[in-house]
Amino acid sequence: MTGSIHEWRRGRLGVEVPVGDAGGVPGSPGPPGPGPVPPLRQGHAGRTAAATPEDDRPLQPRWCPLRGVGHRDARAAGARLGHRLVLPAQARAPRGVLRRSARQPGGRLHPDAGYVNDPRLAAANLAAAAAHRGARFAFRQRVTSLTRAGTVWRATIDGRDPVEAPVVVNAAGPRSSAVKRMVGATDDFTIGVAPMRQEVHHVPAPSQLLAPDAEFFVISDMDLGTYMRPETGGNLLVGGTEPECDPLEWIEDPDAANPHPTVARFEAQVTRAARRFPDLTVPNRPQGVAGVYDVADDWTPIYDKTALPGFYVAIGTSGNQFKNAPIIGSLMDRIIDSVENGHDHDADPVHYTCPHAGHDVDLGTFSRKREANTESSGTVLG
């Protein structure tokens, strides 16, 4: 998703964008397909981290970069990119306000939160829009080397002629660490990134969530280390928020990750959800999906230049940046244009003014050389 929005954004500016992707489709391997991707969460990790999704909020219901793309399927599917779950405007949820859904006292209700129910489709739609703007994609072909030749980068891609460009953006998702090592852009990073396998589980929704008057929405339960959201057909999706009792599943090769849910994790996460919903049963056979996140040490993304001329990164999105999709390309544009015109972003971080909310965003917050973000929850929630 990060790569697709950047490609679309640069294409709008008239920049020719060649794209190399070892996967067969945009967004593969990526986060578990039906996972929650809130466009706004007021309780996000720090002011800057909350400002960018807030600026996206007015765009989410209507934002569709596929306008003008003559691809019927993509245009129709693109409407799903802005799907949101709209809740009553109440900052807090005292006892009873959640009615049949949970009946939990003291919860916080974020009325502008929501989710996209098919992130991979959204990434494909953005890639189609980028192609319409002139981006050229090479799928199922690996970049085997990246070298600097004078003022340009030369990428060697399996089965293709080398591609040259003055600027390269590493938006390789869970493969981003391998790309960094390939070019030697690792020495001055104080924040590391690595691929992590995650699971989201699929179960029939409990009876109280199927009642006609039930308020059925995304629930983040940090006490139990789970999140839940509705799925079509009267079902429920259950994911984890990395509680201390669960080991993190770091992996070496994203392409070798097990794509199927495991019994141990399925039983643990669904059993936790059942503590909130006593009518929820734990099926004998695990159902759901698995995917791979590109996780930063502090679960905060890195949008930055590097010590290598013309080499930039949009990495470490940690499963919590989908809500920033419309704005990530603009943030990277601001950094790239400033640095390529001689600005020292390390010494004097570039700022970005959010066009809708008006917030001033210090892009040094997403620096590769920052101190770890202590306001982060250290989870997929950001």
**Quick one: which H or E segment has residue 269?**
helix 263-276
Same domain, 234 and 278: yes
Same domain, 41 and 144: yes
Same domain, 223 and 348: no
pLDDT band for position 117 (cuts 50, 70, 90): confident
Same domain, 352 and 229: no
Same domain, 247 and 124: no
Tokens 């700022």 correspond to: 351
What are the tens digits of pLDDT across the range 64-100? 555 555 443 433 333 333 333 233 334 444 333 344 4
Same domain, 61 and 134: yes
Same domain, 197 and 184: no
In a domain, 317, yes or no: no
In a domain, 289, yes or no: yes
Weakest-pLDDT range from 117-131, 134-148, 237-251:
117-131
Same domain, 277 and 227: yes
What's 166's domain CATH number? 3.50.50.60
In a domain, 175, yes or no: yes
In a domain, 372, yes or no: no
Weakest-pLDDT range from 11-25, 100-114, 275-289, 314-328:
100-114
* CA-wise closest residue to 61 among 75, 78, 48: 78
The one-letter code for the residue type at 146 is L
**pLDDT score at 67:** 53
In a domain, 21, yes or no: yes
In a domain, 172, yes or no: yes
Same domain, 200 and 347: no
In the chain, what is the greatest distance between 2 CA atoms, to the nearest angstrom?
A: 66
Residue 373: pLDDT over 90 = no
**pLDDT score at 112:** 66
**pLDDT score at 264:** 95
What's 242's domain CATH number? 3.30.9.10
In a domain, 381, yes or no: no
**pLDDT score at 337:** 94
In a domain, 302, yes or no: no
What are the tens digits of pLDDT across the range 210-235? 877 776 677 888 889 998 888 888 99
Number of domains in the chain: 2
Range of the domain at 71: 2-84+116-188+323-366
Edge-to-edge strand ranges of the sheet holding 193-204: 219-221, 226-231, 235-240, 193-204, 288-296
Q: Give mean pLDDT, residues 352-360.
A: 85
What are the tens digits of pLDDT across the range 153-173? 998 888 778 888 899 999 888
HSE toward the beta carbon, residue 262, CA cutoff 13 A? 10
Same domain, 14 and 69: yes
Same domain, 160 and 17: yes
Same domain, 29 and 144: yes
Q: What distance in Å separates the CA atoms of residue 70 and residue 240, rounded to the nearest whole number?
A: 39
